[in-house]
Each structure stands twice: as structure tokens, then as C-alpha cells.
Amino acid sequence: MLINKCLFPVAGYGTRFLPVTKAVPKEMLPILAKPLIQYGVEEAMSAGITTIAMVISKHKQAIKDHFRAHPEIESSVQGTAKASLLDEVNYVTEHCDFTYIEQQQMLGLGHAIHSGQPLIGNEAFAVILPDDLCTNVGDSVLAQMTKLYAQHPDCCIVAIEEVPMDEVDKYGVIDGKLLDNSDNAYRVHNMLEKPDSADAPTNLAIIGRYILTPEIFTVLANTQPDKNGEIQITDALMILAKQGKVIAYKFQGQRFDCGSIKGFVEANTVFLKTSFM
Ligand code: UTP
């Protein structure tokens, strides 16, 4: 196994979902009855990863509770039809090791990933942002990416998708050249964080799946905050892209932007249709 650990940077405030996110972590919002964070961990497992590292905040203890045993609930449903409703989460809890670290200040995704370094150490690792919920009939998006990483073990891999040009200002956007013999993997030579559509080199937007080499930690340590005071992972990756060490991968599957109310409702609607119809 080349990738053994998956980092979940989940310390953000989730302000687009206020007021619910005052007390409920965004990652605990459900698609049907399962919280986003559990879909994320299941995707990591589908790529063979069972060491789960989470960067959380002191307001997000519910995430820890979700992946802990709950003997009172277990015994209350034991022997009833409802017992099976806990099977999936129990399976995850039994098969994964969970570690947590608190991000002390909300200084952006790059800062959150850097905060996770003590949990990762000196090895390549995956990153999942669980509010980007990804589905696919074949290999999961992260499993597709770990296969690509196996062919390019000195490179970071970012997942991309084409978005409408008038939405590029919500994303990190890449420019690159298709790898030889590939129609879905680009060697990245430029990256911009949330560009105006007029400045965007393409409409290829980075979504919340990454495979990062440990070099990223050194780069993040030297990455300056942007104009909003946030350390951006895109800025750090740009340093590695200049050395030819970033590949962007147009994944197979569907992504729901569950960090927005529209995407969250759409995911629930689609999952409801596929579950009960
Ligand atoms: P977002 O940009 O979606 O921010 O973060 P957010 O706080 O979750 O949500 P809004 O925009 O206020 O509604 C992308 C990912 O980075 C994490 C978030 O938890 C999310 O998984 N993040 C962001 C951190 O862990 N720490 C930060 O300082 C910022």
C-alpha cells in the first residue's frame, strides 16, 4: 500500500449552513440518515485506507462521538429491526483507527492540512473534504487517484472537474498539459485560487480530493497567508507544480457540493431516488 493514511481537515466553521452549524458540525449533516463524514471515511476505506486522521476544532466533538461505541443505544436497539441501522457505522469504527488533532486558529485549508502533520508524519497521504460528496459506480474517486499515484509516486494528485465558467471564482483552477497517452490526467503548470472568470486559464476546478507527498508540509510552512489571512493549499501546490510535481486528474463519477445548500439538497434528492425507487 502506497497510501496508508487519510487526512480530513474538518475544522472550518461551515458558515454557509448557519444557524445549524452553530452547534452541529457541517460534516455531521446527513445525506438521508448518514452524515457526510461517514461517507468520506467509507470512501477512504474503499481505497484501502484505514488510518483516519482528522483536524477538528473544539466545537466538533460530535464527529468523535460518531466514531465511538455507544453502548446505551446499542442495547436499546439490540434484537430489533433497527439494530441493522448501526451496522455500517459499526463496521467503519471496527476497521479504522481514528486520530484527532485540533486546529488552533481557523487560518484556511492549507493551515488545517499543515496542522495535521503530527498525525501523518513523513509519508504521502490522501485528503478528503467530506462536504464534496463523490459517488461512482466503479472505483471510488479516491481509489482512482491512488491508482494514478502508484504510477507517479513523486507527485501530488488533485481531483478536478469542469465547472461552468461563471463558477470558477469558487474554486482553485488549474492549467496543464495532458500526460502522454492520457485523456484525463494533466501535468499542472499553473494554479489560481478563486480567480475571476476573466483571469481563469481554464474551467478545470479542484475539488476536495487530494493525494499529497510529505514535501507539502515544508512548502506549507513557508506559504504566506492570502489577502484574507488564510493559507491556501492551492498556493502551496503551485510551488510544487512549478517543479512538475502536480498532476490533476479528471475523475469518473459525480460530485455533490454539500458545502452549499443547493448541492446538499440535490445530494439528498438523488440519494433518496436511488435508495427507494
Ligand atoms: P470551506 O472553505 O468549505 O469552509 O472549507 P467551511 O468553514 O467548511 O465552510 P463555509 O465556507 O464557512 O460555509 C473547506 C474545508 O476545509 C476545512 C473545512 O472544514 C472544510 O472541510 N477547513 C477550512 C479547516 O479545516 N480549517 C480552516 O481553517 C478552514
Q: pLDDT tens, 132-154? A: 999 999 999 999 999 999 999 99
205 φ/ψ angles, rounded to the nearest 5 degrees? -100, 140
Ligand 1 pocket: which of 109, 212, 234, 260 to mutate (most atoms within 8 A of CB)? 109
Encode pLDDT of 42-77 as tens digits: 999 999 999 999 999 999 999 999 999 999 999 999
What is the 8-class DSSP label of residue 62?
H
Strand partners, 186: 178, 248
Answer yes or no: are the C-beta atoms of 214 and 123 closer than 8 Å.
yes
277: pLDDT strictly greater than 80: no
Cβ neighbours, 10 Å, residue 81:
7
pLDDT at 219 over 90: yes
**Max Cα-Cα span within the chain:** 61
Containing domain of residue 47, as a range?
5-275
Instruction: Specify the number of domains making up the chain.
Output: 1
Average pLDDT over residues 203-213: 98
Residue 198 pLDDT greater than 70, yes or no: yes
pLDDT band at 126 (very low <50, low <70, confident <90, very high): very high
CA–CA separation, 96 and 206 (whole Å) = 27
Mean pLDDT value across the chain: 96
Query: What cell was used for 86?
Result: 448501526
Residue 15 pLDDT > 90? yes
Q: How confident is the model at residue 275, as a pLDDT?
A: 84
| Atom 27 of ligand 1, nearest CA residue | 108
Q: Tell me: pLDDT of 276 over 80.
A: no
Grid cell 494528485 — which residue?
A: 157
% of the chain beyond a pLDDT of 90: 96
Helix, strand, coil shares of the chain as percentages rounded to 5? 40, 25, 35
Average the pLDDT over 244-265 and give the result.
97
Compute the distance from residue 66 Cα to the ligand 1 centre, in Å.
Answer: 20
Four-residue CA torsion sign, 177, 9, 6, 260: negative
Give the rounded distance of the alpha carbon of 224 from its chain centre.
Answer: 22
Cβ < 6 A, ligand 1 pocket:
9-16, 26, 55, 103, 106-109, 111-112, 129, 131, 259
**Taking Cα atoms as reference points, which of 146, 217, 210 lies closest to residue 4?**
146
Nearest CA to ligand 1 atom 1: 12
Q: Which atom of ligand 1 is nearest to the CA of 106?
A: 28
Looking at residue 65, its pLDDT comes to 96
Q: What is the pLDDT of residue 21?
A: 96
pLDDT at 114 over 90: yes
CB 5 within 8 A of CB 128: no
Q: How far is the CA of 90 from the centre of ligand 1 (A)?
A: 27
Nearest residue CA, atom 3 of ligand 1? 259
Task: Tell me the CATH number at 85.
Answer: 3.90.550.10
